[in-house]
Amino acid sequence: GLLRHYMAISLSDCRAVTEECQQALVDGLIQKIHQSQPFLLTLDIRKPGESWILLISVEPGFARLHITSHKLKNPPTPFQFCQYLRAHLEGGRIQSIEQEPGDRIVYITVMKSSNLYRVVVALTGNQSNVLVLNQERMILRSLKPSRLEVGDLYVPPILQKREAVRTTSASLQIEERITPKENFVRSPSSQSLANKGEDFTNRIPVSLELEERFRKQTDLQRRLEWFKVRTAEARKSLKQATRRRHTLEADLAKAEKYQEYQRYGELLKAQLHTIQPRQAVIDVVDYYDPALPTLSLPLNILKDPVWNLEDYFRKYRKYISAQEHLRPRLEQTEKKIQSLKEELEQLKKSELDDLLDSPAGSSESPTEHSIPSPRTLSKAQRTPQSMPQYHEKHSSKDKNGKADQSAKHYRTFESFDGLTILVGKSANDNDYLTLKIAKPDDLWLHARGTPGSHVVVRLEKATDVPHETLRDAATLALFYSDLKKSGKGEVIHTLKKFVKKSKGMKAGAVHVTREKSIWIELNKDRLGRLKGGI
């Protein structure tokens, strides 16, 4: 709110720059009109021996009009409003540039052939707009939607007395600005103008001042927007990492219980022949302990002795696997959490520094280099050019320039072994995931005989899927199918290269060959770990 209010052009600024443009641009020929952004226009104006660029912006908080010292990049396809201006105003000659008395509204009168047009530039905050009128003041075109429609007669707004005298502390004060050049600090962008002579620069001091001021404020606003977006991203990542740490700690604590199970298995092996059918507990002497204590080892009464023996060794392998895989991931997660906390602190401090420095901002031009981490940026470096563009952060594009929508077609999970699992969201998304995203050697899964999501496990070529990852992926295939309510069922799996789709098949339907199957029961802990690792 405060930043936007400061950046609004004041009444005295408007009066000063209007008089300056009147002196410099009247009788100039409009050679080219550009619209580099939705609410920003530039007019290339030519006079004998002189070339000028008039900038008109009606973006809320940045509304202004002044002569600019550099050209802006244009979109590949011009906006409709720009096309209209080119058709009706290019080749026309500026007859006058005047301000509505007591208001921040500027009228630019243009004569083309025998047609007279008046461009209304309203620099009135959030209601700022550009209108094109004919000689009878009838509205022909509007840059923004307006309460005034095409064909209406344009009538200047009635001003309250307090609005007519309102000024701001940021005012340029025209009486002070039309002074010799030594009272001005020339911005780096004005150097091209200086090459044409000192007199040339002296003729547009108000425009140069406005250009420099709004450049700083635009940079500051972009930095603050970037801080806001990056802070939200870091907080989200911190929340996810904290959940992942909790899940990993729980899995590791569970696996730690199996640390002694290899010893128990060896002890059980020696007494395997003594186990009776449906025996629930067996007492064995612990020969690994000098005190030779007696241990009571629980048994599964529904299984035979060999299965119980193997189960002890299976659980010990879970402990070993946890040490090899879970502990490094937990350490990495801890480092990430600490890094994100430090980044959030630095972002908070950097944003506060910029707010305290506003409205002046930093006038230094950044050097060209690779983008550093925000935590390492000095204040002078924290410019929009040295940061990722916040408005492009979430709009990756493909080679044809179209937004990449692939992330919307599937959910992403991480298996126990750290592999990526993708789950389709709808029938069409299933086709997209299987036919466009999955690679031939990826593992493909689906709940047998029922509607459900396609599931893909990312695998390297000629790599077997780890057992826990297979169960994780099968759990997700069951969970995102119509078997979810029953909580158990059969899941088929095969390599993606054995999944085909024939012409005419409905969305989500495929042919599967060489499939295997696995019986799965939904496990709350497994689902919690998978969802917590997103």
pLDDT at 373: 38
Q: What is the DSSP letter of 391?
A: G
Is 70 exceeded by the pLDDT of residue 409?
A: yes
Q: What are the tokens at 354? A: 């910029």
pLDDT at 95: 95
pLDDT at 180: 35
In this prediction, residues 398-406 reach a mean pLDDT of 45
pLDDT at 214: 79
C-alpha separations of 211 from 35, 168, 178, 189, 295 in Å:
17, 18, 16, 9, 84
Least confident of 317-321, 341-345, 371-375, 424-428: 371-375
CA–CA separation, 422 vs 457, rounded Å? 6
> How many residues are given for the chain?
534
- Read off the amino acid at residue 170: A
Is 70 exceeded by the pLDDT of residue 188?
A: no
Is 60 exceeded by the pLDDT of residue 532?
A: yes
Q: Are 486 and 459 in contact (CB under 8 A)?
A: no
Residue 355 — pLDDT band, cuts 50, 70, 90?
low
Residues of the chain above pLDDT 70, percent: 79
DSSP states along 359-374: TT---PPPPP-PPPPG
Q: What are the tokens at 427? A: 């029938």
In tens, the pLDDT along 101-158 reads 889 999 999 999 999 999 999 998 778 999 999 999 999 999 998 888 888 999 887 5
Is 70 exceeded by the pLDDT of residue 525?
A: yes
Is 80 exceeded by the pLDDT of residue 465?
A: yes
Residue 35 — pLDDT band, cuts 50, 70, 90?
very high
**H or E stretch covering 318:** helix 305-321
Mean pLDDT of the chain: 80
C-alpha separations of 180 from 19, 104, 174, 199, 209 in Å:
17, 26, 13, 10, 14
Q: What share of the chain is helix, strand, coil (3-state, %, to 5)?
A: 40, 20, 35
Candidates 418, 419, 422; CA nearest to 408 is 422
Residue 192 — pLDDT band, cuts 50, 70, 90?
very low
In this prediction, residues 213-233 reach a mean pLDDT of 81
In this prediction, residues 64-80 reach a mean pLDDT of 86
Q: Please work out, in degrees rounded to the nearest 5, the angle formed at the alpha carbon of residue 283 by the alpha carbons of 281 and 288.
A: 130
Helix orientation angle between 205-256 and 11-25, rounded to the nearest 10 degrees:
120
pLDDT at 45: 94
Is 90 exceeded by the pLDDT of residue 88?
A: yes
CA–CA separation, 58 vs 43, rounded Å? 14
Which residues does 190 contact at the CB level (< 8 Å), separation at least 6?
69, 201, 208, 211, 212
pLDDT at 300: 92
Decide which of 384 and 290 is more confident. Answer: 290
Predicted TM-score (pTM) above 0.85: no
pLDDT at 453: 95
CA–CA separation, 359 vs 354, rounded Å? 9
Least confident of 290-304, 374-388, 434-448: 374-388
